[in-house]
Chain A
């Protein structure tokens, strides 16, 4: 980002702060082990750890084996579990069972980060491209690796839908390749943009009070 446009975004409003201050990454513990390797503990790190520990102890808050008649807390947990389970089952059928733990932890991780971020004066890591694009691109790479390990070179046939006339084929392959690489971008951008927009809306509306 050029200096002038950055200054425009960071410009203070009448209340003496910028609406973008809430997205600022602050180094809480400065850790520069090697010259250009910044491993500082930032507020983003802290809230990712908070999400991690909440996720870790979420299912510990209930009776270890679950009660036959669920209480309030167990009902919520079962609701989330069934929500993700149905989602995986509808889209992948029985093959999806091995990816269910991943999907449940991904869903709960994002849900906890987003919900913790709604508390005033907290930080939302998913509003940063580094987190949401990091997730979406690693999922994209994982999907591609799985695809090539199951189909081998046959996977390239995905770029060429069957039953297409020859003149239009070259154009269609280009479109398919673009849409394939647009997947991780749309996945990460939607999450980051939605969360950022929501949090900006909060501060801007709150500045009117």
Chain B
């Protein structure tokens, strides 16, 4: 869109803004996925120690 020039070049600010906010979101996802992986690992470890 940026290459097309004119009104489209101005319109390219819209996907740029979305990409910026998705970057913030993905930073959170990167952290949460590492956290969830560890949380489930410790839950599975706990399950192997204590039978229900």
Contact = CB atoms under 8 A, between A and B. Distances in A.
Given A110-B33, A118-B23, A194-B29, A158 B52 contact: yes
Interface string B14-50: 0110110011001101110111111111111111110
B38 A107 contact: yes
Interface residues of B, number: 33
A110 B19 CA distance: 23
Contact of A183 (B12, B38, B44): B44
A115 B35 CA distance: 13
B33 A144 contact: no
Contact of A146 (B31, B42, B45): B45
A157 B48 CA distance: 12
Contacts of A10: none
Contact of B49 (A92, A144, A154): A92
A153 to B, nearest CB: 12
B30 A118 contact: yes
Interface of A: 83-84, 87-88, 91-92, 95-96, 99, 103, 106-107, 110-111, 114-115, 117-118, 126, 135-136, 139-140, 143-144, 146-147, 150-151, 154-155, 157-158, 161, 183, 187, 190-191, 194-195, 198-199, 201-202, 205-206, 208-209
Interface of B: 1-2, 12, 15-16, 18-19, 22-23, 26-27, 29-31, 33-49, 51-52
